[in-house]
Chain A
Amino acid sequence: MTEKKWPETWQEVNPGCIVFTPGSARSYLTGSWRAQKPIWDNTKCIKCGLCYLFCPEGCITEDAEGYFSADLDYCKGCGVCAHECWPRAIKMVEEG
């Protein structure tokens, strides 16, 4: 069954817009907002983890070798990681 994105009628909205499912934001893929995606150049990456710390979406993870990448299901393409990356290892690249 596909989950409904919006309640179809006003009667279906919970009183006070209360959301009874914890962590339901996870099912909302903010990656669909993205116009640019971050691409890491691991030859420049010094593994400082600033991108990981600054990502407002919390979608950047560290791999076994200590390099970083974004989960594109949630990455909105805001570019904060690229802006903060002082060795300039992250480039924002147009989608499509």
Chain B
Amino acid sequence: MSKRIGMEIAFAAAETVALCRPDVIAAYPITPNTHIPEHLSDIVAEGRLDAEFICVESEHSALSACAGAAGAGARVFTATSSQGLLFMQEIMPIVSAMRLPVVMAIGNRALSGPINIWNDHSDIMVQRDMGWVSLFAANGQETVDMVVQAFKIGEHRDVMLPVNVNLDGFQLTHVVEPIWMPDQREIDRFLPPYEPFASLHPDHPLSMGTLGVPEIYNEVMMGRNVALVKSKKVILDVWKEWEALFGRRYKPIESYEAEGAEVLLLTMGSLSETAEVAIDELRREGVAAGLLKLRLWRPFPFEELREAVEGVKVVAVADRACSIGGPGGPVFAEVRSALYGEPERPIVVNFMIGIGGRDVMVEDFKNMVKKAARMKHVPAECAYEIYGVRGS
């Protein structure tokens, strides 16, 4: 039976990983994800989890160790943040190309420089095109649930891809929340032992990570793309099963007060809950505003997005990363591009907020919605704004 407890989300994530019975954990500490592997190493040291905890000398080694262990058929887990994730970058596409279902928690943090340990999404956005399934949690409960779901999704024979679970640094990692913690029996029922498609063993030799010459590279890329696109079906199935077992529903895009809305805010991660309060207040003031919470970043839920914005006049996308010198924030660029071919489409505008840990208040969201509602025509290069910049 699940039990409702108060626990720091990073610790809860670690406890949940332990319930998933990983064979190997390799991680290198970096704020703000550190409490996750730190607590896992405690769990292993206490003998509560029979796993190999590899204290590596860098994030590059952490993910390399995970790749090797996953290749040998182990269920593996790692976690990181910010520059640590960037240090893993070289291995990120290799893990997905080798179709290894590594699960990684990312305590999202701004990139240096200037050096900044606080929360935004610029670390994961750099990894956007690395071929991983990418989930965003809005609170502690979603973090816990998504960690378990991540193993099930990634290990599914129709997917066989690595999965990252994004939880906002500090705003989530370091916050104590009431969380329904599943118990071992529930997790064992939901998540069977990992059965790899292939594994490295001297008794049945095979080669992984081989050379892909130009004559084969396009075909490989096609296979990787199809696998990630098609993973959405598995993700939806896993979420359906989760709902049946635990009663908590997950959708790629969740609508909040979107019915009859003229302006929709779109957020990812922990800001969604502040945005909900703003929407409540706006509705009370008579503003037809609603909210879309994006949970699934890769594969991008194109269909669900188009459905969710039907009949809406303006979509205001809140990005927590900048594509410097580009079209705006990465989420915005995706949303606008997804709607470009639609005969009737809303105006899409972009506010880059909460960058480098800058606080975003309920009032800020209300301002953004009101500003977006006034926009009738937006030239392509003027559709974004770094919100709240002094002197602009």
Contacts and interface: CB of A to CB of B under 8 A. Distances in A.
Nearest to B97: A16
Given A6-B216, A7-B216, A18 B198 contact: yes
Given A10-B222, A10-B223, A18 B216 contact: no
Contacts of A5: 215
Determine the interface band of chain A, counting residues with CB < 8 A from chain B. Answer: 10 to 19
Interface of B: 97-100, 160, 197-198, 205-210, 212, 215-216, 218-220, 222-223, 226-227
A13 interface: yes
B206 A13 contact: no
Given A10-B219, A10-B222, A10-B223, A17 B212 contact: yes
Given A6-B215, A7-B216, A19 B210 contact: yes
Given A15-B99, A15-B160, A20 B198 contact: yes
Pick the 3 closest A-B CB pairs, nearest first: A16-B99, A10-B219, A19-B207
A17 B210 contact: yes
Contacts of A10: 218-220, 222-223, 226
Given A18-B206, A18-B207, A7 B98 contact: no
A87 to B, nearest CB: 35
Nearest to B218: A10
Nearest to A5: B215
Contacts of B205: 22
A29 B70 CA distance: 32
Given A6-B215, A18-B207, 15 more contacts: A6-B219, A10-B223, A13-B220, A15-B223, A16-B97, A16-B100, A16-B160, A17-B97, A17-B208, A17-B216, A18-B208, A19-B207, A19-B210, A20-B206, A22-B207
